[in-house]
Structure 1
Amino acid sequence: MSLAGFSLADVVGFVGVGLVVATYFLSQIGRMDATRPLYPGLNALGALMILVSLWFRPNPASIAIEFFWLAISAIGFVRALIIGRRR
């Protein structure tokens, strides 16, 4: 399956990049609270989508950073849930 020369895996990866970049941008302009579960949740989803695309076109350095991004986002998500329950 191809859309303008991109495979489905490429499209999934680009959507993942869009999620990561959009959430970071929104947090930087004060439109998304990075301490709420939505921010790390969307970042984790974005990293996972990028990892899916990297499964089909491996790049070791990119795979490494996305695993770290996913792990850090998972920690942030759990932390945001715990802090949210305390409020």
Structure 2
Amino acid sequence: MDQIVQVLGSLLILVAFVAAQRGRLSASSPVYLALNFTGSLVLAVLAAQERQAGFLLLEGCWAIVSAAGLLRAARGRPARVSA
């Protein structure tokens, strides 16, 4: 069952990435951020249960960054872009 949940979490992240690469979603859009947040949170929880420190670090950070973007979007603030 864990394998199915891992694949579903991964697919959420990959769908967002592919959509962004094809120009269907902006990397700062709430849909993109929500897909990334949900997928990475699922994977982070599973990594914590399996005591996979490296994977937990990656997915935990990914979830935090996505959550911060969602909060910015909810508050109507644009994403920070630096050149």
- Aligned partner of 2:18 among 25, 29, 33: 25
Per the alignment, residue 74 of structure 2 pairs with 81
Question: Which residue of structure 2 aligns with residue 48 of structure 1?
Answer: 41
Which segment drifts farther, 33-42 or 72-81? Answer: 33-42
Alignment TM-score, normalising by the size of structure 1: 0.78
Identify the range of structure 1 (68-77 vs 43-52) with the bigger mean alpha-carbon deviation: 43-52
CA RMSD of aligned residues (A): 1.5
Identity of aligned residues (%): 27
| TM, length-normalised to structure 2 | 0.81
Q: Which has the larger radius of gyration?
A: 1
Q: How many residues are paired up?
A: 77
Q: Which runs of 5+ in 1 are unaligned?
A: 1-7
- The secondary structure found in structure 2 opposite 1:33 is coil
Any conservation in 2 of the 1:20–1:46 contact (CA below 8 Å)?
Answer: yes
Alpha-carbon shift at residue 52 of structure 1 (Å) = 3.0
Task: Select the structure with the greater relative contact order (CA < 8 A; seq sep ≥ 6).
Answer: 1
Confirm whether residue 63 of structure 1 aligns to residue 47 of structure 2.
no
What displacement does 1:48 show?
Answer: 1.3
Relative to its length, the structure with more strand (as a share) is 1
